[in-house]
Amino acid sequence: MQNGNLKCNATECAYNQEHKCKAGSIHVSGKGAVSLEGTTCLTFAHTIDGQEGNAFYNKANGCFVDNSCDSITEPSNIKCEAHNCIYNKNKDCHAKHVLIDETNAYCDSFNFGNHVQ
Instruction: Determine how β-strand 26-29 pairs with β-strand 40-41.
Output: antiparallel
Q: For 1-31, write each residue's pLDDT tens digit.
A: 345 689 999 988 888 888 988 888 899 999 9
pLDDT of 62 above 90: no
CA dihedral 117, 112, 104, 32 (to 10 degrees): -90
- pTM confidence score: 0.79
pLDDT of 40 above 50: yes
* Beta carbons of 85 and 28 less than 8 angstroms apart: no
* Beta carbons of 101 and 39 less than 8 angstroms apart: no
What is the predicted pLDDT for the residue at 49?
Answer: 64
Q: For 96-110, write each residue's pLDDT tens digit.
A: 999 999 999 999 999
Rg (CA), the chain: 14
Reported as a pLDDT band with limits 50, 70 and 90, residue 111 is very high
* Beta carbons of 80 and 92 less than 8 angstroms apart: yes
